[in-house]
Amino acid sequence: MTRLLGWLAALALAAGTVMGFGVAPREATQGNVQRIMYLHVPTAWVAYLAFGVVLAASIAYLARRRPGADRVAHASAEVGVVFTGITIAAGSIWGKPTWGTWWTWDARLTSVAILFVMYLGYLLLRGMIDDAERAARYCAVLGIVAALNVPLVHFSVYWWRTLHQPPSVLKPGAATMPTAILATLLVNVAAFTLLYVYFVAKRVRLLRAESEVLA
């Protein structure tokens, strides 16, 4: 099943790349730099998804104390941090020609940076505590608290004045973009979601093997 997920993710990523460069039209205002949206938006969505899974798995662990739930939270946090980093990097590349700067401390970017640092702290906390059960318990609490920042990130463009544009898809009402661009974006969202599931599945297997060796 994991191998199948890997192949599906690879095929979907290939399809998304072809659509991003060969099907979606050149955006009239931003030009070709807009195409980075096909990376930036899917990785941001995967970060939301990853930290949502951390929240659910952390609650499940505190309720049942099952190691499997902790492994899912651990793996999802690692993948979420990677995809958040990619989101920040892609956004900076898009921001330079669009805003004239690589970075600005507006509400969206600041809240994303805080989210990134919180989950880096989550991973560091795991490495600092030798007792596995205590590390899982402390990280479950931090994973729940950190995940509460995700709605703040998403709605920051509505609650404060920011340079960052409001969402074009994850918002009330219909998507405000041409059909070809929307279709390309959704294919890439599906591709990166499959990639996330593949990475988490592989990482959970490795964490299980590590725990068996230590036991």
Q: 28 near 43, Cβ under 8 Å? A: no
Q: What is the pLDDT along the chain (215 residues), one digit of tens a residue?
A: 888 999 999 999 999 999 999 988 888 788 888 899 999 999 999 999 999 999 999 999 999 999 999 999 999 999 999 999 999 999 999 989 988 889 888 889 999 999 999 999 999 999 899 898 999 999 999 999 999 999 999 888 888 877 777 766 656 556 667 788 999 999 999 999 999 999 999 999 999 998 888 77
**pLDDT for position 169:** 65
Token duo for residue 50? 């990853």
Give CA–CA dist 70/83, Å, rounded.
20
pLDDT at 56: 97
Query: Read out DSSP for 159-203?
Result: HS--SSPPPSSSSSSS--S-HHHHHHHHHHHHHHHHHHHHHHHHH
End-to-end Cα spacing for the chain: 27
Task: Give how far Cα 81 sits from Cα of 49, 69, 134, 163, 207, Å.
Answer: 11, 18, 22, 24, 17
Find, among 114, 111, 137, the residue nearest to 126 by Cα: 137
SS3 148: coil
Determine the pLDDT at residue 168.
67
